[in-house]
Structure 1
Amino acid sequence: IKPQEGDLEVLFESDDFLIIDKPKGVVVHPGIGSEDGTLVNYVKGYLSQKDNFKEEVQKAGIVHRLDKGVSGLIVFAKNLEMQKHLQEQFENHEVKKIYLANIEYKELRGGIKRYFPKEESEYLDIDSEIEKLEKRNFTFDESWFKAEGYISRSPKNRVKMQFKKYFGRRGKKAISYIKPINKDQILVVIKTGRMHQIRATLEYFGIGIVGDTLYGPARATSMPDAIELRSIFLSFKELDGSDFTIIKTQ
């Protein structure tokens, strides 16, 4: 991975990790078709410039990903001990993450409709809802819609994933909690980190994320550069066992 200078919004930095606000349209990790100009290149460039990059970390300290079109909070480890510590928390589903999506829909399916506020007076405040969830230590009451099913690759389009309520061949368990804030915005918490989990799950319930041509009603076959889905909340344990939490809703 080559170090590169790039537009990097570092929100927080300690000796062990970095929190970055990822912009839409930037790929997290180099791959086929995107050898450079990725977040990983920029992080390596940023730390190398400060003489603070440790070669011991794998893939420049990456521990989780966000799709190219998604924006928001992402954490990078600065040393191998922290990288392993974070990877373990992600694998055990101990990292708390909240996403905010701007949505569109024609017809809601599968029981989610009754969770949407009918009047403007019923609209919720994003910060208050996050605070409530934190106070309850991420236990979900009946105001959250639980979407539980299985995610597998779509047989019709190999770029896409699909969500089904019942187990099918190669399906992996996927659990998401969804809370409509108003008629155009929802909060989403994922309990399992499957590829395209939020987008495939929402599609099943008749919901598209604004700008998402792959999963939305426009039905394109390629990955969009920008969608209205943002990682707004991240919480995990530091090496000393203390909690680290960061919130940035826009």
Structure 2
Amino acid sequence: MEDVTAGPDDAGQRLDRFLAAALDGTVSRSRLKALIEDGRVTVNDTVVREPRRSMRKGDVARIDLPPPADPEPQAEAIALSVVYEDDTLIVIDKPAGMVVHPGSGNPTGTLVNALIHHCGDTLSGIGGVKRPGIVHRLDKDTSGVMVVAKTDAAHKHLSGQFADHGRTGAMERTYQALVWGAPDRNAGTIATHLGRSGSDRTKQAVVSESQPDARHAVTRFSVETRFGPPAKPVASLVACTLETGRTHQIRVHMAHIGHPLIGDDVYGAGFRSKARAVPETARAAVEALGRQALHARTLAFIHPSTGDLMRFEVAMPADMARVAEELRRI
């Protein structure tokens, strides 16, 4: 642990820049940013996960520097479902249960380990040693389509598109989610601010705009199928399109409007009784799912080298499809 106190000249400076200067450049800003986002930095004894947080005179920042570890993930012969590949990028259909990049508790068996084996030395290193080529990620238990850069130029181009979230370009990310109940409207937009939950720092929550780590989050949804009685559906299949890319955004937003994802024990724990109320075959399918019912179905972007519009769509995996099929029988 290291404590650093902000002086008068530090007021208004970003937290990551302040720490970089205070540590005399011994830790890179990119590393400090990752440590901040990982919850390893507090300011005045409060965890801060926003590198841009503005410092004030007298603020005391504490950083928990983990012991050095082997930074080089190793190649592993893990099968990949490749949707498309060329010299610039690779698009894969990530299975549920696979972690994207090595981290605490997951040093091996990740998508990065599989990509290093599959792509060899062609992977871009601009995303960091532990995240070569990674420009976006999916949660461990979320399945679906992902793109990975093979060159630094492609990484920069794709990262820019993801940062824009399709506001001015062709980027599109649409997910399928099985949720409890059904929204009253066939389509709508959820716009809130998301930040760390005050009751559980491992969770995200809808928070006030004034909370220091609050970030604007927008999800557009449309109901594709309602399951059960028309007047009171038991569940529904919803398509969600992201206009921002916040941690657990869809899961938090759908729970916020009263329709948490099926199988989500983090944000939908209060709806466990719903699973007990459905027919036995549907209940068995939900229990066998063992994860949140979320699938990244569609990804569209401009190819970094050719300028062509690339659009990929991958089918819902078997475990989610089985839940949907059983719900259709209600």
- Give TM-score, length-normalised by structure 1: 0.79
- 1:219 is displaced (CA, Å) by 8.3
> For residues 173 and 231 of structure 1, what CA distance do their matches in structure 2 show?
21
Question: What residue ranges of structure 2 are gaps of 5+ in the alignment?
Answer: 1-72, 227-235, 273-288, 317-330
Looking at CA atoms only, which structure, 1 or 2, has the larger radius of gyration?
A: 2
CA pair 225-67 structure 1, distance change in 2 beyond 3 A? farther
- 1:156 is displaced (CA, Å) by 1.2
Pick aligned residue for 2:209 from 143, 155, 167? 167
Q: How many residues align?
A: 210
Question: What residue ranges of structure 1 are gaps of 5+ in the alignment?
Answer: 116-143
> For residues 103 and 219 of structure 1, what CA distance do their matches in structure 2 show?
10
Q: Which amino acid aligns with 1:114?
A: R
Q: Which residue of 1 aligns with 2:122?
A: 53
- 1:54 is displaced (CA, Å) by 4.1
> For residues 112 and 154 of structure 2, what CA distance do their matches in structure 1 show?
17
Q: Which residue of 1 aligns with 2:246?
A: 194
Pick aligned residue for 1:233 from 298, 307, 320? 298
Q: Tell me if structure 1 keeps the 8 A contact 2:124–2:152.
A: no
- 1:158 is displaced (CA, Å) by 1.6
CA pair 149-6 structure 1, distance change in 2 beyond 3 A? same
> For residues 234 and 103 of structure 1, what CA distance do their matches in structure 2 show?
21
Q: Which amino acid aligns with 2:197?
A: S
- 1:225 is displaced (CA, Å) by 6.4
Moved more, 189-198 or 154-163: 154-163
Secondary structure at the counterpart of residue 250 of structure 2: helix
User: Root-mean-square deviation (CA), in Å?
Assistant: 2.0
> For residues 226 and 7 of structure 1, what CA distance do their matches in structure 2 show?
21
- Give TM-score, length-normalised by structure 2: 0.60
CA deviation string 1:15-50 (max 9, x = no partner): 1111111111111111111111111111111112xx
Pick aligned residue for 1:214 from 253, 263, 266? 266
CA deviation string 1:185-218 (max 9, x = no partner): 0000010001110001111111121111111135
Higher share of residues assigned helix: 2
> For residues 151 and 229 of structure 1, what CA distance do their matches in structure 2 show?
19
2:194 aligned with 1:151, yes or no?
Answer: yes
> For residues 152 and 104 of structure 1, what CA distance do their matches in structure 2 show?
24
> For residues 46 and 177 of structure 1, what CA distance do their matches in structure 2 show?
35
Q: What percentage of residue pairs aligned between the two structures are identical?
A: 30
> For residues 172 and 244 of structure 2, what CA distance do their matches in structure 1 show?
11
Secondary structure at the counterpart of residue 216 of structure 2: strand
- 1:176 is displaced (CA, Å) by 0.6
